[in-house]
């Protein structure tokens, strides 16, 4: 199994290498791919040194799988070129998510839709992934009509520049305007502005939650509204989700469904002050759900609190899980390789 990681030197690319190693993904040849300024540098993967290569060289190598985390413009240009030589691309950018010809995959929910002909597969947005993992068993049981979402998103979702801004502000270090990832200080602050503002006055991040959720569930009738906030946190993204169901439910049944679902850990012991927090979700692959309680202001409504490491389940781990599914179902490579 020849595997390329495109954008290997970035925050998510680094975590992808960690996840591939931790999960013992079957790799016979590893291709670390980055921009020209990194080509020729050395990178250690699974205890061996590898030379970083450029995109042209990577395409020529015809990997079985290429996992992309290099930005939308790179994906738009290069994912089709990899696909043309038979590579299956799992793309972490927003480039292909809403393309009607491309599948948007969270393995716990809809990996079964994938076929051998799917050569470009979209990884959803980080805040969408963790939320739909928590919502999927509830939607199946009680049918969701409406969602009201508020996110509290880690600076790591913006990238290295944001982490540097946070550290500089934390230590009162001078920072030039061009060095700032945000237009306001992030240390000791919350910024209700994730991604760019759109014509409807929502941010792009907020509308990703709307459109991607509908696509993953295959349900355009869902009514969804969201507010996304950047917070000075490293560990992961947190979300409050208010859910209105079509059917009556019992809180005990909700908790049981979540406990039985793949990829979810329920932390909901209020007497012990046990509930999900990004500090303790960091470096973990699960989606953590707590504060599960009835919304007493509306019929068939529920509140939940959802937390996950945005660099792992929100990006790298989900992408690797997609690749694992492709291998397990013999959708890539010349023969099935046991995972």
pLDDT for 182 equals: 97
| Residue 237 falls in the annotated catalytic set | yes
The per-residue pLDDT string of the chain (339 residues; one tens digit each, 9 = 90 and over) reads 999 999 999 999 999 999 999 999 999 999 999 999 999 999 999 999 999 999 999 999 999 999 999 999 999 999 999 999 999 999 999 999 999 999 999 999 999 999 999 999 999 999 999 999 999 999 999 999 999 999 999 999 999 999 999 999 999 999 999 999 999 999 999 999 999 999 999 999 999 999 999 999 999 999 999 999 999 999 899 999 999 999 999 999 999 999 999 999 999 999 999 999 999 999 999 999 999 999 999 999 999 999 999 999 999 999 999 999 999 999 997 543 333
Residues pairing with 242 in the sheet: 148, 303
Judge whether 5 and 31 are in contact, CB under 8 Å. Answer: yes
Secondary element (H or E) of residue 242: strand 237-245
Which residue among 17, 126, 139, 194 is the active-site one? Answer: 126
Q: How far is CA 275 from the centre of its chain?
A: 21
Cα dist. 169→11, 160, 172, 187 in Å?
20, 14, 5, 6
Which residue among 17, 190, 237, 273 is the active-site one? Answer: 237
Q: Give 16-22's long-range contacts (Cβ < 8 A, gap of 24+).
A: 16/67, 16/69, 16/315, 16/316, 16/319, 16/320, 17/43, 17/45, 18/316, 19/285, 19/312, 19/316, 19/317, 19/320, 20/45, 20/320, 21/45, 21/46
| Residue 139 falls in the annotated catalytic set | no
- Classify burial at 249, counting beta carbons within 10 Å of its beta carbon; exposed 0-12, middle 13-18, buried 19 or more: middle
pLDDT for 194 equals: 97
pLDDT for 334 equals: 58
- Describe the strand order of the beta sheet including 29-33 as a list of residue ranges: 29-33, 2-6, 65-68, 88-91, 120-122, 103-104
Judge whether 131 and 108 are in contact, CB under 8 Å. Answer: no
Query: Distance (Å, rounded) from C-alpha 240 to C-alpha 252?
Result: 19
Indicate the SS3 state at residue 168. Answer: helix
313 phi/psi in degrees, rounded to 5: -60, -30
Place of tokens 């190693």: 21
281 phi/psi in degrees, rounded to 5: -85, -15
Could you tell me whether strands 237-245 and 144-153 are parallel, antiparallel, or unpaired per DSSP bridges? antiparallel
Count other Cβ atoms within 10 Å, centred on residue 289: 29
Which domains can be identified in the chain, with CATH numbers? 2-95+315-328 (3.40.50.720), 127-308 (3.30.360.10)
Count other Cβ atoms within 10 Å, centred on residue 170: 12
């Amino acid at each position: 199994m020849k595997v390329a990681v495109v954008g290997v030197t970035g925050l998510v690319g680094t975590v992808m290498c960690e996840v591939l190693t931790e999960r013992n993904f079957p790799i016979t040849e590893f291709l670390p791919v980055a921009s020209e300024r990194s080509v020729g540098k050395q990178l250690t993967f699974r205890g061996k040194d590898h030379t970083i290569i450029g995109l042209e060289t990577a395409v020529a190598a015809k990997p079985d799988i290429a996992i992309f985390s290099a930005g939308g413009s790179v994906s738009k240009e290069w994912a089709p070129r990899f696909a043309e030589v038979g590579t299956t691309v799992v793309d972490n950018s927003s480039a292909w998510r809403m393309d009607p010809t491309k599948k948007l995959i969270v393995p716990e929910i809809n990996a079964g839709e994938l076929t051998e002909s799917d050569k470009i597969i979209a990884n959803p947005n980080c805040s969408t992934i963790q939320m739909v993992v928590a919502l999927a068993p509830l939607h199946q049981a009680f049918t969701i009509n409406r969602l009201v979402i508020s996110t509290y998103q880690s600076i790591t979702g913006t990238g290295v520049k944001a982490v540097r801004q946070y550290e500089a502000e934390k230590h009162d270090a001078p920072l030039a305007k061009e060095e700032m990832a945000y237009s306001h200080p992030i240390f000791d602050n919350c910024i209700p502005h994730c991604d760019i503002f759109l014509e409807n006055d929502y941010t792009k991040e907020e509308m990703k939650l709307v459109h991607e959720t509908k696509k993953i569930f295959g349900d355009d009738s869902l009514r969804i509204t969201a507010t996304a906030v950047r917070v000075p946190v490293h560990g992961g993204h947190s979300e409050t989700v208010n859910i209105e169901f079509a059917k009556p439910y019992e809180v005990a049944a909700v908790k049981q469904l979540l406990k039985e679902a793949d990829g979810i850990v329920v932390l909901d012991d209020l007497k012990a002050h046990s509930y999900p927090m990004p500090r303790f979700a960091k470096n973990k692959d699960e989606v953590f759900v707590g504060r599960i309680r009835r919304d007493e202001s509306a019929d068939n409504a529920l509140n939940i609190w959802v937390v996950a490491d945005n660099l792992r389940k929100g990006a790298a781990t989900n992408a690797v899980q997609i690749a694992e599914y492709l291998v397990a179902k013999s959708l890539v490579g010349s023969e099935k390789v046991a995972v």
